[in-house]
A and B are shown apart, each in its own frame.
Chain A
Amino acid sequence: MRHLGIAALAVFILLPLVQAILLSFTATLPTDAVAAGSIGLMNYGNVLAEPELRAAMLNSLIYVVLNVALCISIGLPAAYALARYRFTGDRHFLLMILAFRVTPPVVLSLPIFILFSQFGLVNSPVGIALVHCLFNLPVAIWILESFIRAVPREFDETAYLDGHTGPSFFFRHLIPQIAPGIGVAAFFCFIFSWVEVVFARILTVTGGKPITMAIQAMFSFQTDIGMVMAMTCLSLVPGVAMIWFVRNHLARGFTLRA
């Protein structure tokens, strides 16, 4: 009975993916050399032969790595403060990051575009990396806070007694101790950032397009849907790799802190 439930779930989740993977190996737009419906790697070859699509993959990787690095490095001190101290306005701070986490991107898209164009951050992966902090920094803070909270306070005090304070405490003691937490935070930042389209669209007008927008641009009057699916399947690879790396820590999740 329970195996049946799991099997039904697997079919539901995998069916659209199977269709996409099948299409990615099928020639959908016939050319002189390849007849429609033939099976092979030609779509992947076409994707990799396209400089714009290669650039898009690089753009996506740059902004997502930058975003994760920003969220972790800025989120970690904040999470430490929230986990270890009470301070005036701490609950207001938590409420504020919750409010920003739930602000719909479409609400802010217009002023973000105007603001970022003044700073020269349009058409660049840096702009996307910055603006995605809006919804990723709160998540990073929640996750890291819960992991730091799980470390007993005596751990900090021992490190202090050993003469480790400030940066050396963070890098030599705290970060190794909560490494799985950093992995989980990176994972959730990744999944919310890699696939996002609203900010990615508004901030890349002419150049610097990430994968999501490059795929969008592949739709035209005569869309080579097989090639679109090949590009999409390639875009899943880093995400699947992330899932694999954090699989044993995925179950820590995060909870509401307000």
Chain B
Amino acid sequence: MRPQDNRAWFLVLPALALLGLVGALPLLAVINYGFHDIFTLQDVFWVGPQWFADILQSDRFLASLGRSLLFSTLALGIQVPLGIGVALLLLTYGKRAVWGLMLVALPLVVPWNMIPMFWLGLIQPETGLLGPSLAAIGFDWKFTGWHTWALILVVDTWHWLGLVVVLAYAGLSAIPPAYMQAAAIDGASPWATFRFIQLPRIAGALAIVFLLRFVDSFMIYTEAFAINAGGPNDATRFLTLELGEEIKGFSYGQAAARATLYFLIVLAVVWAFVATTREREG
């Protein structure tokens, strides 16, 4: 058991100060802006909760919220099982698995704004490696809503699968061999081994994967904007695209109110997640 010692705060203090500067201070500022109408930094008027009321009552906000939630659900639903599957597969390769880990980690070091460019180049009908065959089967990401969705999901999966695989593999390879031997002696099926031995042992790794993938997919902007800017017909208009429009239109008060709402949504999900995790751990 770790001893209680409040002097440990001195070691935490630098981290706290830095996060206060780049996190807490801007966060307070953004909440404050959300209650003001901002023409210039000198012309600021108090409007109270008006922006919040406007946003919450608009149908467009609710529709975007629905789309973003659906996107996150799909992204997590695809990437987490797929990532665990790949990690389990890599586990059977022993020492050679490190090559697989390096492979899936590659997309993580590609600049975010170039990831959509890579894929758009790949599916370009005339010159892309996949372009002609996709065009032949009638894949039309520009004007068919669900094709755009599929493309963004594929791009997002390509980008982030590596993180899921690396963290899941880390959890799986840390399981003492004795656990697996015991399961083998008991004649446990692969599914039972996974469900009752491996899955509980990687819960901590999966929890962070879930949270990181949730926020990043829920707040997807770079890929979604570059691929179809919310189109066709607003089919991929996610929450962040609306925020981007307001910032570009210099509606800073509205943008701040919207940003505050997004932060509260994310915080609520994270808090609910942590609360259930702590409860389960007891």
A110 to chain B, nearest CB (A): 6
Partner among A19, A84, A110, A134 whose Cβ is within 8 Å of the Cβ of B128: A19
Contact call B219/A106, Cβ cutoff below 8 A: yes
Alpha-carbon separation in the docked complex, A252 to B247 (Å): 40
Alpha-carbon separation in the docked complex, A106 to B91 (Å): 37
Compute the total of residue contacts between A and B using a CB distance below 8 Å.
Answer: 272
Name the residue of chain A whose CB is nearest to the CB of B240: A106
| CB of B80 closer than 8 Å to a CB of A | no
The segment out of A38-46, A47-55, A87-95, A175-183 that lies at the interface is: A87-95
A157 to chain B, nearest CB (A): 12
Alpha-carbon separation in the docked complex, A197 to B101 (Å): 25
The interface size of chain A toward B, counting residues with CB under 8 Å, comes to: 91
| CB of A169 closer than 8 Å to a CB of B | no
Alpha-carbon separation in the docked complex, A35 to B224 (Å): 34
Partner among B15, B27, B212 whose Cβ is within 8 Å of the Cβ of A74: B15
| CB of B92 closer than 8 Å to a CB of A | yes
Alpha-carbon separation in the docked complex, A14 to B211 (Å): 27
Name the residue of chain A whose CB is nearest to the CB of B1: A86
Partner among B9, B111, B256 whose Cβ is within 8 Å of the Cβ of A81: B9
Partner among A81, A197, A235, A254 whose Cβ is within 8 Å of the Cβ of B11: A81
Given A130-B21, A137-B19, are A197 and B4 neighbors across the interface (CB < 8 Å)?
no
Given A87-B9, A239-B109, are A103 and B19 neighbors across the interface (CB < 8 Å)?
no
Contact call B121/A23, Cβ cutoff below 8 A: yes
| CB of A221 closer than 8 Å to a CB of B | no
Name the residue of chain A whose CB is nearest to the CB of B244: A106
Alpha-carbon separation in the docked complex, A232 to B110 (Å): 8
Contact call A10/B103, Cβ cutoff below 8 A: yes
Residues of B close to A10: CB separation below 8 A: 103
Residues of B close to A86: CB separation below 8 A: 2-5
| CB of B229 closer than 8 Å to a CB of A | no
Partner among A89, A194, A198, A250 whose Cβ is within 8 Å of the Cβ of B109: A194
Contact call A251/B166, Cβ cutoff below 8 A: yes
Contact call A111/B30, Cβ cutoff below 8 A: yes
| CB of B136 closer than 8 Å to a CB of A | no
Alpha-carbon separation in the docked complex, A250 to B162 (Å): 11
A137 to chain B, nearest CB (A): 6
| CB of B65 closer than 8 Å to a CB of A | no
Name the residue of chain A whose CB is nearest to the CB of B163: A191
A212 to chain B, nearest CB (A): 4
Contact call B122/A15, Cβ cutoff below 8 A: yes
Given A17-B106, A248-B98, are A70 and B18 neighbors across the interface (CB < 8 Å)?
yes
Task: Give the residue among A70, A99, A102, A250 with the most B Cβ atoms within 10 A.
Answer: A102
Contact call B8/A6, Cβ cutoff below 8 A: no
The segment out of B69-77, B140-148, B260-268 that lies at the interface is: B260-268
Residues of A close to B35: CB separation below 8 A: none
| CB of A253 closer than 8 Å to a CB of B | yes
The segment out of B50-58, B182-190, B191-199, B200-208 that lies at the interface is: B200-208
| CB of B130 closer than 8 Å to a CB of A | yes
Contact call B41/A114, Cβ cutoff below 8 A: yes
Contact call A247/B101, Cβ cutoff below 8 A: yes
Alpha-carbon separation in the docked complex, A107 to B22 (Å): 12
Q: Which of B1-54 contact A (CB under 8 A)?
A: 2-9, 11-12, 14-16, 18-19, 21-23, 25-27, 29-30, 33, 41
Partner among B22, B161, B207, B244 whose Cβ is within 8 Å of the Cβ of A133: B22
Contact call A114/B29, Cβ cutoff below 8 A: yes
Residues of A close to B112: CB separation below 8 A: 195-197, 212
Task: Give the residue among B2, B115, B207 with the most A Cβ atoms within 10 A.
Answer: B2
Residues of B close to A137: CB separation below 8 A: 15, 18-19
A233 to chain B, nearest CB (A): 10
Q: Would you mind naming 18 contact pairs between A and B with Cβ atoms under 8 Å apart?
A: A14-B103, A17-B110, A86-B3, A87-B9, A106-B243, A107-B30, A107-B259, A111-B29, A114-B29, A114-B41, A215-B111, A239-B110, A240-B106, A240-B109, A243-B105, A243-B106, A243-B109, A251-B170
Closest 3 CB pairs of A and B: A239-B109, A253-B170, A255-B204
Residues of A within 8 A of B (CB): 2, 5-6, 9-10, 12-20, 23, 70, 74-75, 77-78, 80-90, 93, 95-104, 106-112, 114-115, 130-131, 133-134, 137, 141-142, 190-191, 194-198, 211-212, 215-216, 225, 228-229, 232, 235-236, 238-240, 242-244, 247-248, 250-256, 258
Residues of B within 8 A of A (CB): 2-9, 11-12, 14-16, 18-19, 21-23, 25-27, 29-30, 33, 41, 86, 89-90, 92-93, 97-98, 100-115, 117-119, 121-122, 128-130, 158, 161-162, 166-167, 169-171, 173, 204-205, 207-208, 211-212, 214-215, 218-219, 221-222, 240, 243-244, 247, 252, 255-256, 259-260, 262-263, 266-267, 270, 274, 277-278
